[in-house]
Copies of this chain bind each other. A is one copy, B any other.
Amino acid sequence: MRHWLFLMITASLSCNTLAEQFNVQSPDSDIRVVVDITAGKPSYSVTYKGKPVIRSSNLGFQIRDQAPLQDNLSVLTEDREVIRQQWQTVWGERLQINDHYNELSLQLREQNGDKRTLGLTFRVYDDGLGFRYEFPEQANLQDFIIDEELTEFAFAQNYQSWWIPAYRNQRYEYQYLRSAVSSIDVAHTPLTLQGDGIAIAVHEAALVDYASMTLRNIDDNQKVFRADLVPWANGVRVYASAPMKTPWRTIQIADSAVALMNSDLLLNLNEPNKLGDVSSYVKPGKYMGIWWEMHTGLANWSPGSDQGATTERAKQYIDFAAQHDIDGVLVEGWNKGWEGEWWRREPTFLFDQPVDGFDIEEVSRYAQEKGLRLIGHHETAAGISHYEAQMERAFAYYQKLGITSVKMGYVGTRLENGKEWHHGQFMVRHFRKVVETAAKYGVMVNAHETIKDTGLRRTYPNLMTRESVRGMEYNGGSPDTGNLPNHTVLFPFTRGLSGPTDYTPGVFKFDYQKHRPFNRVPTTLAKQLALYVTIYSPLQMAADLPEHYQGHPAFKFIDDVPADWSESIALAGEVGEYLVFARKDRHSDDWYVGAASNELPRQYALVTDFLDSGAIYQVEIYADGEAAHWRDNPMDYIITQRTLHAGETLILDMKPGGGAALRFVKQ
């Protein structure tokens, strides 16, 4: 159910005067944008609290077989809107979202040549801005190819930045680099920057039918970047037909990096729910699954003697899940096609045929009997046409079995037998098709190795979560190049800004001597619990094996912690150092806090002023034990309970690679 509050003032001016500079600012006036069309060349600049953030930066396009669309433009119309509204999420980090912005829309027309028309809209919020281009219907621009988007970001300072490289083999699955922005070659977004008392993140919203934007340093070793759209295999950046709108180019701005995580800019810039009432199948929750035992070498995706996906093993998971507050059980390797080195060949997966030894009908029935659901799995090995040919049937199959959630994978360095990038318009189109097909059959989507998040979950609320990060799997897999202890307190400041992350926390057994002697999960157990709060996902995995959870009182936190929130507050943190989040359960008055550190120990004084003023809470604290250390002693934890008045301060003592998880139950 959604409540809309509208307050809209529209001032539409049709002006034939030669106005060349247009100002638009955030409701609180801290962010000011100047759009300049001097000498026919559009550009923009941004300041925050009087300090420059983006210096004059070009706008425009290179359309194939046409003159550059960035010169000789004059302003045809200027429209302004003042929006103060609020909307309600279907699920998410918070229930109510304020959508307050000031908008400037310009229609620009070329003064000569093809006299093409280009729209340019800026929306300025208190937490950042978005701008996009619009190609209205017109005679000289109908079906066309975008060879280059000329949008620039001329950073005002040589900010410190955190980023992952684009155009590499492992998609978004890199640990983050920290450097002066001048040292970046080409980076994926979100790109997070900090300096001069300002934190900035550049990304995009509503990537619906376009290539994803990467940012390229246009003058190596300097600090002016240009949108670099990930191309199709044939070099085309975008196939477009007017009328069309590009995604929003977003610049989130705040006083600190941690404050960026409280921004709703991306969701606000996406279209409202197109699916209507999805409450019959869209349910945030927790899941377990036959998966980590494959990564740690105990079982295999392939059929045969070490086959992970068996009816018996699935029932063990279901039995454990049914005794706990776990809503779904995933089974990877359940279907035919996993034989041998499946990632090296043309895909052979069949999406409606279970492998021998796995009775999917029985397992799904058993799960439902126990009050939960089997979670489907579609690994495509990056073979898109192979998958699309079966896709409709595959989702219908799940619907028939009562499966309402699917985890998907696109393992491979390029799509379609090495041809297409994971981040071009090709993948954007494919993935939207997946999400729409899943919705048609009442299935939630959790996608790995897919295109980055740009907030489309608002429009398609069955699009729950995705990986697009170097996940927990790297800590278990072979070779033994796991994530550093700082990774989990870094990516929420970068990747995390884009949306939910299926990182899969919850590992309680930290080494795998037999098959993975050199592997380690680089946290303490208490920090694993903290990740359920510091990393947001509406589908949150309990990644470890049932037998590894047995006898651990700490599992109660995983039982208790919800996956859907009415409020979320990033309380404190520094990129790659530590992070503290407080979130309120959407379905009770309980609050949860997660605090996580990198490899350094640290204390954090948690002021509980987010709790209901005057109320009393029972607080359960899961903390690192005195001798806890991610390297030598990760399983040392202590659970304490006490009564607390809202507003009291708790000292959280995090050990190296450690953290703390807290549950506040209102009395």
Contact = CB atoms under 8 A, between A and B. Distances in A.
Contacts of A481: 158, 182, 221-223
A92 interface: no
Q: How many copies of the shown chain assemble into the complex?
A: 2
Binding site of A, secondary structure by majority: helix, strand, loop or mixed? loop
Nearest to A223: B481
Interface residues of A, number: 36
26 contacts: A156-B518, A158-B175, A158-B481, A158-B484, A168-B185, A168-B220, A168-B221, A169-B221, A174-B183, A174-B221, A175-B179, A176-B179, A176-B183, A177-B177, A177-B178, A177-B183, A178-B179, A180-B483, A180-B487, A182-B481, A196-B631, A221-B470, A221-B481, A222-B479, A223-B479, A224-B479
Nearest to A181: B481
Given A177-B177, A178-B178, A484-B160, A479 B183 contact: no
Closest 4 CB pairs of A and B: A175-B180, A177-B179, A169-B220, A178-B178
Given A178-B179, A222-B479, 7 more contacts: A156-B518, A158-B482, A158-B483, A174-B182, A176-B183, A180-B483, A182-B481
A221 B176 CA distance: 11
- Between A174, A219, A221, the greatest number of chain B beta carbons within 10 A of the residue's beta carbon is seen for A221
A54 interface: no
A180 B482 CA distance: 10
A150 interface: no
B221 A170 contact: yes
A642 B196 CA distance: 37
A176 to B, nearest CB: 7
Interface in A178-237: 178-180, 182-183, 185, 195-196, 219-224
A196 B631 CA distance: 9
A169 B217 CA distance: 12
Most B-side CB within 10 Å, residue of A470, A479, A487: A479
A180 B164 CA distance: 11
Given A158-B482, A158-B484, A484-B160, A221 B183 contact: no
Nearest to A171: B221
A325 interface: no
